[in-house]
Chain A
Amino acid sequence: KQEVTQIPAALSVPEGENLVLNCSFTDSAIYNLQWFRQDPGKGLTSLLLIQSSQREQTSGRLNASLDKSSGRSTLYIAASQPGDSATYLCAVSPSEAAGNKLTFGGGTRVLVKP
């Protein structure tokens, strides 16, 4: 059974510092990995999707890497801003046929202090 773990559970940084969020998964047979942002009491917003054949994806200040064989992904957020404060979740899909039957990690709660 796939298990997804995110460490640390919480992170506090001063504004301007780069953020590094880690995600690990136990079964390397994944179809894709997605990173989401969740604000308190809100839904999830998709940030980046990495196919299993890809090594990384970039969107603006966000960059996500994927090392499928070792079961790890890292989300980098450059030059953090107070508006980046949120919980960041990673999730994996087991196969194309399973579609978005995702297994989620517990999230990393980020606080960026002005």
Chain B
Amino acid sequence: KAGVTQTPRYLIKTRGQQVTLSCSPISGHRSVSWYQQTPGQGLQFLFEYFSETQRNKGNFPGRFSGRQFSNSRSEMNVSTLELGDSALYLCASSPAAGTGSYEQYFGPGTRLTVT
């Protein structure tokens, strides 16, 4: 099976702009989660989507939003970018719920730089 793919891999934006990142999960995986990785805070959970619904949410401001489509593909959006939003954004997918396992499989990430 193909792994989790994320586009674009690198992005440079200006403060105040908005950005949309895309994630395609492993085929058959219905849960998609997003994480932010920074040197200071490490890996932090943003949100998780399952069957097009946001099921879990981390402690990030409302500028961070996401959605999931019927084919399980997901996008996350950051509006009014701040310098502190510069980070590696990682998408992860999980098999269908009810399996009793919580392994998440990560994509390569999108490196966002805000100038």
| A associates with B | no
- Chain A residues within CB distance 8 Å of chain B: none
